[in-house]
Chain A
Amino acid sequence: MKYQKTRKQKEIIHLHDVDRFYHMGESLVRAVNKMNICIREGDFVAIMGQSGSGKSTSMNLVGSLDIPTHGKIYLDEKDTSKFTESDLAQLRGKKIGFIFQQFNLIPNLTALENVMLPMLFQNVEESERKQRAKEILILVKLEKRINHYPNQLSGGEQQRVAIARALANNPEIILADEPTGNLDSKTGEIVMKFLNKLNEEGKTIVMVTHDKNLAIKHAKEIYWLKDGQVEKITRLVGNEWRKISDCHTPR
């Protein structure tokens, strides 16, 4: 039933003609060039590219961690350049949950405290924070590990804590940057299953990866990046990957 509404989905993140240029010494690096990406509610989008294709930069832009040199980024159809930095941080914390390749847990906080942290920045009461963090850790099957520090956890466990942290504020979007990059294939599979499950439950997933097979296996739509630009967009229709002409094409 859920999949029927994909016919007229809301665009929750939209990169419109976005450039992101850096100065590296004397030369100008065009990391992202005239990029258009539309993330629709409930979708599972993979941003695919080899290193240097601009996928990390585009992920930072999608996650509103970075500010474009030119062009606009819309979050919930609102222009993010109109936000103050602090409002944007607040919005990001509420709407987007990040999962990183390096897990990026805070080393001196326990699993529970790591999961509680995003809620602190949303001014959630302590008792509620604790309660909710416990629930989410049970969800990722880490109920026996809540008081462990990151260095006492295996890679797979750390990534599950990171997923739990990403879910803490019940965000609409999960942004995963090479989520299986530091895990063996079996553990990686478990993590991907979590992401698929979350997507089935209605969360929007954006995954950045260089792994073509991973993208094809789990995503519904793939942005193929090359040299800072979108080379093509493909979408899974039935069992077939079809090419889409541009990001606004109705699906």
Chain B
Amino acid sequence: MIKDYFVLSTKNLKRRGVRSWLTLLGIFIGITAVIALISLGDGLKTAVNSQFGVSSTQLITVQAGGLSGYGPPGSFVVNPLTKEDAEAISKLSTVELAIPRRVETLNLEFNNKLQVTAVGSIPIENTQKVYELQEISAQYGRLLNKDDSGKVVLGNNLADPKKNGFDKEIMPGASVTIGGEKFRVVGIMEKKGSFILDGAILMLEPDLKDLMNDGDKASVIIVQVKNKDLMTKAQIEIEDLMRERRNDRKGEEDFEVSTPEAMLATVNQVLTGVQMFIVLIATIAIIIGTIGIVNTMMTSVMERKKEIGIMKAIGARNSDIFLQFLIESGMLGLIGGIVGVIAGIGIGYLGTLGINYFIGSETTPGINFILISTTLIGSFIIGAIAGITPAMKAARQNPVEVLRG
């Protein structure tokens, strides 16, 4: 029997005017936002997290403030880290290893075209350790050894003619010009899903130093801690040491010691904030949509007073009328939900495609059957809840009054 009420409701909904459908905008926007958020949110988090390339949780990075021009105003004193800083850090009891690395931006020329690229240094000592810690491996060719002067390894995107901007594939054996000097490509890195690493060049530290010609600087010091439990202790020790070495007062440091957890936490905090905001908007939209459904159902009850009277005259109980209007209202919500889910999935897919395209990550939208079905059931329930008062009003109509005239 309940099936018949669904059929009746569908017939009733079909003859509804544009006005009814407009009231569904709220539900539609709310559901779209929720679905888009969930399907995109996971992808976004994965993408952002993968950009940091931090899967090893025993790494601490030390960076100098002002080095890359991001320091606070007035403190733009370039006071770079040095190899000696790294050596001092490596002597700390909690530290296993401290490796200074340089990251510079240089021109890369190939096929008569020029691109500005990031170039990272590979130290001569602990070469393998760096690969291991940063999970770098070669997809084609090989990685650099300590005697590979004049040779480079390229990020995955730089090899790909569709992504590298040179309109030509670069493979091991190719010759490229970096910062005006010729280098031979010996390997292509495995894809990392991070646009920084996938677009970077690796060369031995002495080569980079020669190109830059500005002494023993370090852009970043990568610190491996002896074990995970010592992370916090190591962080404090490094901070104390660096403050002493750089004559910084506490609270006025021009360097930064960060753990992967802290970095991810910051990013995730921002993402969570954005998500909360979208959820808030979605909630407001759904509340407005619910009120819209109450309104349109109330109008519908008034318009169909006579019909209700007829139904009662031919034997409809109050509960039959109530059920009919409740289902109709629920289906209004459901229709808003269906359109919202479709739009939300669309946004999720396009958004993920966009993220993947710009960042070079490979995330998929977080959509699943359970999410969709709960959302649809939820939107039906929201509609039905909105319909309770109108349906009660409809059920209470006095058939005599509504049949008159």
A and B interact: yes
Residues of chain A having any CB pair with chain B under 8 Å? 56, 60, 63, 65-66, 85-86, 89-90, 92-94, 97-98, 100, 104-109, 117-118, 120-123, 126, 165, 168-169
- Residue B129 is within 8 A (CB to CB) of chain A in the complex: no
The 3 A-B pairs of least Cβ separation, nearest first, read A93-B315, A121-B315, A86-B317
Rounded to whole Å, the gap between the CB of B323 and the closest CB of chain A is: 11
Cβ of B339 to closest chain A Cβ, rounded Å:
23
Contact across chains for B315 and A92 when beta carbons are under 8 A apart: yes
A105: B residues at CB distance < 8 A: 310
Cβ-defined contact, B318 with A86, below 8 A: yes
Chain A residues whose CB sits within 8 angstroms of the CB of B316 once the complex forms: 89, 93, 121
A residues near B317, Cβ cutoff 8 Å = 85-86, 89-90, 121
21 interchain pairs, CB-CB under 8 A: A56-B404, A65-B399, A65-B403, A66-B400, A85-B317, A89-B316, A90-B317, A92-B315, A93-B314, A93-B315, A98-B313, A104-B306, A104-B313, A109-B11, A117-B311, A117-B314, A118-B314, A120-B1, A121-B317, A121-B320, A169-B315
Task: Determine which residue in A98, A121, A122, A168 has the highest number of CB atoms from chain B within 10 A of its CB, and name it.
Answer: A121
The reply on B14 being an interface residue by CB < 8 A is yes
Contact mask for chain B residues 235-253; partner A; CB cutoff 8 A; 1 contact, 0 none: 0000000000000000000
Give the distance to chain B from A249, nearest Cβ to Cβ, in Å. Answer: 30
Bound-complex Cα distance A66 to B320 (A) = 19
- Asked whether B75 is an interface residue with its Cβ less than 8 Å from the other chain, the reply is no
Q: A89-B315, A118-B315, A121-B314 are in contact. Are A106 and B399 (CB under 8 A)?
A: no
Question: Which B residues are in CB contact (< 8 Å) with A106?
Answer: 307, 310-311
Among the listed B15, B314, B319, B400, which residue makes an inter-chain contact with A108, where contact means beta carbons less than 8 Å apart?
Answer: B15
- Closest chain B residue to A168, Cβ basis: B314
> Residue of A at shortest CB range from B310?
A104
Question: Do A63 and B313 touch (CB < 8 A)?
Answer: yes
Closest to B4 in A: A120
Asked whether B312 is an interface residue with its Cβ less than 8 Å from the other chain, the reply is yes
Asked if B55 lies at the interface with its beta carbon under 8 angstroms from chain A, I say no
Q: Does B105 contact A (CB under 8 A)?
A: no
User: By the criterion CB–CB under 8 Å, are A89 and B318 in contact?
Assistant: yes
In the bound complex, CA of A59 to CA of B143 (Å): 98
B12 contacts the other chain (CB 8 A):
yes
Find the A residue at minimum CB distance from B13: A108
Determine the chain A residues whose CB is within 8 A of the CB of B4 once the complex forms.
120, 126
Complexed CA–CA distance, A169 and B404 (Å): 24
Contact of B1 among A56, A89, A123 (CB under 8 A): A123
- Given A65-B399, A100-B403, decide whether A90 and B15 contact each other with a Cβ distance below 8 A: no
Q: Tell me the nearest residue of chain A to B401, going by C-beta.
A: A66
**How far apart are the CA atoms of A165 and B320 in the complex, in Å?**
18
Measured between alpha carbons, how far is A85 from B8 in the docked complex, in Å? 23
- B307 CB contacts on chain A under 8 angstroms: 106-107
Are the CB atoms of B315 and A65 closer together than 8 Å? no
Task: Assess whether B315 is in contact with A122, with CB atoms less than 8 Å apart.
Answer: yes
User: In the complex, given contacts A65-B400, A108-B14, A120-B4, what are 11 additional A-B residue pairs having Cβ atoms less than 8 angstroms apart?
Assistant: A56-B404, A65-B312, A65-B313, A89-B317, A93-B316, A104-B310, A121-B311, A121-B315, A121-B320, A126-B4, A168-B314
Q: How far is the CA of A168 from the CA of B318 in the complex (A)?
A: 20
Interchain nearest-CB distance for B14 vs A (Å): 7
B403 with A104: CB separation less than 8 A: yes
Q: Which of B6-40 contact A (CB under 8 A)?
A: 8, 11-12, 14-15
Chain B residues 298-315 with CB under 8 Å of chain A are: 306-307, 310-315
> How far is B316's CA from A63's CA once the two chains are assembled, in angstroms?
14
- Chain B residues near A120 (CB-CB < 8 A): 1, 4
In the assembled complex, the CB of B249 is this many whole angstroms from the nearest CB of chain A, namely 80
Name the A residues within 8 Å of B8 (CB-CB).
Answer: 109
Measured CA separation A92–B310 after assembly (Å): 12
Cβ proximity bits B304-345 to A, threshold 8 Å, 1 near / 0 not: 001100111111111110000000000000000000000000
Q: Which residues of A contact B313 (CB under 8 A)?
A: 63, 65, 92, 98, 104
The CA-CA distance from A120 to B400 in the complex, in Å, is 22
CB distance from A104 to the nearest CB of B (A): 5
Partner of A165, one of B12, B15, B314: B314
Q: Who on chain A is nearest to B399 by CB?
A: A65
Cα distance A7–B190 when bound, in Å?
A: 104
Q: Which residues of B contact A122 (CB under 8 A)?
A: 315
A93 to B315, CA, bound (A): 4
A residues within 8 A CB of B15? 107-108
Which residue of chain B is the closest to A91 with respect to CB atoms?
Answer: B315
B5 to chain A, nearest CB (A): 9
Complexed CA–CA distance, A168 and B1 (Å): 17
Which residue in chain B gives the minimum CB-CB distance to A118? B314
| Complex alpha-carbon distance, A35 and B342, angstroms | 63
Interface string of B365-405 (1 = CB under 8 A from A): 00000000000000000000000000000000001100110
A129 closest partner in B (C-beta): B4
What CA separation (Å) do A123 and B320 show in the bound complex?
Answer: 11
State in angstroms the CA–CA spacing of A93 and B399 once bound together. 13
Give bound CA distance, A63 to B312, whole Å.
Answer: 11
